[in-house]
Amino acid sequence: MSSCSSLKSLPNELAKLSSLKELILSGCSSLTSFINEFLNLSSLEELILSSYISLTSLLNKLTNLSFLEELILISYISLTSLLNKLTNLSFLEELVLSGSSSLISLLNKLVNHSYLRKLDLRYCSSLKNLPNKLENLSNLIRLNLSSCTSLISLPNKLANLSSLTILDLSYYSSLTSLPNELENLSSLIRL
Q: Which residues pair with 144 in a beta bridge?
A: 120, 168
Helix, strand, coil percentages, rounded to 5, for the chain: 25, 15, 60
Domain boundaries of the chain, sorted by first residue: 21-184
For Cα atoms 167, 142, 159, give the angle at the middle one, nearest 5 degrees: 55
**What confidence score (pLDDT) does residue 83 get?**
59
Q: Which residues pair with 94 in a beta bridge?
A: 70, 118
Q: Tell me the CATH class for 21-184.
A: alpha beta
Segments of the chain scoring below 50 in pLDDT:
none
CA separation for the pair 114, 79 (Å, rounded): 22
b/e string for 75-85 if b means 16 or more Cβ within 10 A?
bbeebeebbeb
Residue type, 95: L
Query: Residue 27: left if φ>0, alpha if ψ -120 to 50, beta else—which one?
Result: left
**What confidence score (pLDDT) does residue 65 get?**
74
Quick: pLDDT tens for 26-74: 777 676 666 555 566 778 888 877 766 555 555 556 666 778 888 887 8
> What pTM was computed for the model?
0.84
